[in-house]
């Protein structure tokens, strides 16, 4: 497997963050904390985290209604697990491409439309996670005055909110004025791109905008937001159970909302397979606000991270085998999606093993 520049940067960043997370804890202390975790609470936390894949697949149905209203649960669930397993196996976050590619292979919908629905999903995720961050920090018991490593959590959340707001404005323009967006893209493309690149780009943009139709339907949009809130709220309960499994009793539900949001935003950057490094660093940084000992915070992060890593990876491997795909296809899904966008017409991929 040849690594891209983005993958190399991500792996180096992961190594740096993992070093920072582990630098002031001993292996013996971490092992002791892992061995003394409550097994029942830990298994419940991992089960809840795995069940989140079911919720994500259910939620995806609304986002796909404008382009493919009749896709059943099974191909959605299969594609979700393949995508997340790809993130655990390959660097540089190829999971979204693998997920869109897999759904297109399994159902025949245009891969750019599937990818468009995932852009909307990630935008809604970002909005909900930012909302949870601010909601947690508004709780009177939140230790906002503590700070960690000179970082004010409210200031950091504010920077993220500004970035998300800018992306939201761009998406609002694409959704509210799709034809004007295409016209503007054509105007710019005529000035900087040759015809051989221009036409595929515009065709790909049109197909991509089709995936954003859900934002123009009030019912679908509100339903999608509700599903996003339910999904992340449910996962926060899993975090709370994991806290208790590792004896972290000083952090309540608001802290669980805060930490899962912080970790979810941290692992959005390119990193090593499985997000090892950003996950542990974010957990250690966030739990330090509640004065959780570094060895306990790192033990929680490693245990809960690996606990969630194993089931979804196994499910992804199962569906790749069951549906007649190959991991080489999954690995090359980003390149494949880019080639589809560049083609003269955004035709769907050929169908794979039917799973309806």
Residue 336 domain boundaries: 5-342
270: Cα within 13 Å, side-chain hemisphere: 13
- Name the more confident of 32 and 174: 32
User: Where residue 298 falls among pLDDT bands split at 50, 70, 90?
Assistant: very high
pLDDT higher than 50, residue 349: no
In a domain, 112, yes or no: yes
pTM (2 decimals)? 0.83
Q: Looking at 12-21, 131-140, 248-257, 274-283, which range is the least confident one? A: 131-140
H helix intervals, the chain: 5-22, 27-35, 39-64, 73-89, 95-107, 111-138, 153-176, 178-192, 195-210, 218-245, 253-266, 278-287, 294-322, 327-331, 333-342
User: Where residue 345 falls among pLDDT bands split at 50, 70, 90?
Assistant: very low
In a domain, 75, yes or no: yes
In a domain, 353, yes or no: no
H helix intervals, 246-332: 253-266, 278-287, 294-322, 327-331
Q: At residue 148, what are phi and psi to the nearest 5 degrees?
A: -140, 120
In a domain, 71, yes or no: yes
User: Where residue 344 falls among pLDDT bands split at 50, 70, 90?
Assistant: very low
In a domain, 274, yes or no: yes
**What integer pLDDT is reported at residue 157 of this predicted model?**
63
**What integer pLDDT is reported at residue 137 of this predicted model?**
85
Beta bridge partners of 148: 151
In a domain, 356, yes or no: no
In a domain, 62, yes or no: yes
- Name the more confident of 185 and 237: 237
**What integer pLDDT is reported at residue 314 of this predicted model?**
97
**What integer pLDDT is reported at residue 54 of this predicted model?**
97
% residues pLDDT > 70 (the chain): 86
In a domain, 271, yes or no: yes
Q: What total of structural domains would you count in the chain?
A: 1
- Name the more confident of 41 and 149: 41
**What integer pLDDT is reported at residue 346 of this predicted model?**
43
**DSSP-based three-state secondary structure for 4:** coil
Question: What are the tens digits of pLDDT across the range 252-279?
Answer: 999 999 999 999 989 988 788 999 999 9
């Amino acid at each position: 497997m040849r690594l891209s520049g983005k993958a190399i940067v991500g792996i180096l960043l992961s190594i740096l963050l993992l070093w920072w997370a582990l630098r002031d804890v001993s292996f013996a202390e971490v092992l002791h904390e892992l061995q003394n975790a409550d097994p029942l609470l830990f298994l419940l936390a991992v089960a809840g985290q795995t069940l989140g894949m079911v919720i994500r697949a259910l939620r995806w149905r609304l986002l796909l209604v404008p382009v493919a209203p009749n896709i059943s649960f099974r191909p959605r669930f299969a594609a979700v697990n393949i995508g997340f397993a790809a993130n655990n196996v390959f660097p540089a976050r190829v999971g979204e491409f693998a997920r869109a590619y897999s759904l297109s292979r399994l159902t025949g919908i245009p891969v750019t439309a599937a990818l468009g629905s995932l852009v909307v999903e990630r935008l809604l995720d970002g909005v909900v996670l930012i909302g949870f961050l601010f909601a947690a920090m508004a709780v009177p018991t939140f230790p906002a005055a503590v700070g960690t490593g000179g970082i004010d959590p409210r200031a950091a959340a504010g920077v993220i909110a500004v970035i998300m707001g800018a992306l939201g404005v761009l998406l609002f323009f694409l959704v509210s004025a799709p034809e004007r967006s295409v016209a503007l893209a054509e105007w710019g493309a005529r000035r900087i791109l040759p015809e051989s690149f221009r036409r595929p780009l515009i065709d790909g943009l049109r197909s991509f905008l089709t995936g954003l139709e859900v934002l123009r339907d009030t019912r679908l949009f509100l339903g999608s937001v509700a599903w996003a809130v339910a999904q992340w709220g449910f996962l926060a309960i899993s975090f709370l159970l994991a806290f208790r499994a590792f004896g972290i009793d000083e952090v309540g539900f608001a802290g669980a909302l805060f930490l899962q949001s912080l970790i979810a935003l941290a692992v959005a950057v390119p990193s090593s397979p499985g997000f090892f490094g950003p996950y542990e660093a974010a957990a250690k940084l966030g739990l330090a606000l509640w004065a959780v000992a570094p060895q306990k915070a790192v033990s929680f992060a490693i245990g809960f991270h690996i606990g969630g890593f194993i089931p979804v990876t196994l499910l992804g491997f199962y569906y790749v085998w069951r549906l007649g795909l190959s991991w080489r296809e999954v690995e090359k899904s980003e390149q494949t999606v880019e080639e589809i966008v560049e083609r003269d017409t955004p035709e769907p991929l050929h169908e794979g093993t039917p799973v309806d």
